[in-house]
Amino acid sequence: MGQRSRTETVAAVMAAFFAHRSWSQAELAREVGVRTEALRKLLQELQANGVHLESEKEHPHVYWSVPKTWFPGGVLFKQDDVAELLRQLRRLPRSKARDRVLAVIVDQLPPRDRPMAAVAVVSRPTSEQEEQYVPVVEDSAAKRVALSMRYLTATRGTMSDRHASVHVVDIGPPARFIATCHRNGDLRWFRVDGVIRARLDDREPYKECAASALAAFRAASIDGYKGAGAPIPCSFFVREPESRWVANNLLEGMSVESLSDGIRVSVETSAVLRVARFVVGLGAAARPESSALASAVAELAQGALEQVQGRAGGKEARAILDEPAQAPAQPRSNA
């Protein structure tokens, strides 16, 4: 056999595995043009450095193989899988990262397989804040490293520096995450649009959370809100005909019971105020049935009424209040 440089030998080995995913050691040595012992040593070095090589002994032969999807520095996709990958990527929120990956895939497709025109799929745009901070939040959860962030609490209008251990990321919209707050020591929801700056901080110990505690927290939450105290049952009635579209536009976690003249919506949560806001938005079409929910609805409605009376005095206020109640607007999509 002739002499090959090490670079030529490595290139020849890679080319051989591109052509066939499995070789006997002796056949591969002949294909590459090196001695069997030199090849074995090279394959073991490649294996030790992260190349997905697998060896199997079947006396008197040794077989070397790579996975069917193996590709140096990447993953191979079948043609049908590429089409599905493009479809899924187009459904993601629009971002610079998504558009860059789409462009890389399309540019590497054969001309005959490239999309002739943009598919009419509309996805929401990702904000600059989400694009900047969602990857850092995801890394905190994936790597089990504490997140150091400056956070704006919108309800109080206060800004603070804190550490958090991220457990769950909800892409939304809006993008948010569940994390253990190191300052308060409890589980909380955080919104990504409240993050002013963020980085991983491996000097701060990451706080683990039991799966059962995380599941209980999520079950007590609704639409990214978790109130104080234990979850309580809430229910409200929605009359016909509004019940037909309301049933398809409920918050995640709400369940529906069909009645002769409408629907009963039920949920067990500690975020009663969030449910009350939903009910108030339905106007006269909805009626709270549980006492805690009824109290929260009454408080919100009274506050709104006082705002109307304070904003429009005298005859103008009376004209507004005397107008007949209108049914809540039905969404344009009647699906």
pLDDT confidence tier of residue 142, bands split at 50, 70 and 90: very high
Lowest model confidence (mean pLDDT) among 209-223, 228-242, 300-314: 300-314
pLDDT above 50: residue 334: no
Query: Which sequence spans correspond to the domains of the chain?
Result: 6-71, 77-113, 128-218, 232-322
CATH topology for 128-218 is SH3 type barrels. (2.30.30)
Whether cis (ω within 30° of 0) applies to the bond prior to 174 is: yes
pLDDT of residue 1: 45
In the predicted structure, residue 317 carries a pLDDT above the cut 60: no
- pLDDT of 234: 94
- In the CATH hierarchy, which fold is given to the domain comprising 232-322? Alpha-Beta Plaits (3.30.70)
Per-chain mean pLDDT for the chain? 84
Q: How far is CA 230 from CA 15, 216, 217, 227, 271, in A?
A: 62, 10, 10, 8, 10
Residue 256 has pLDDT above 90, yes or no: yes
Say yes or no to pLDDT of 293 above 70.
yes
Of the candidate ranges 55-64, 188-197, 236-245, the one whose mean pLDDT is the lowest? 55-64
Q: Does domain 6-71 match CATH 1.10.10.10? A: yes
| pLDDT on residue 335 | 43
> CATH topology of 128-218 equal to that of 232-322?
no
Regarding pTM above 0.75, the answer is: no
37-45: which pairs have CB atoms within 8 A and are 24 or more residues apart? 38/9, 39/9, 39/13, 42/6, 42/9, 42/10, 42/13, 43/13
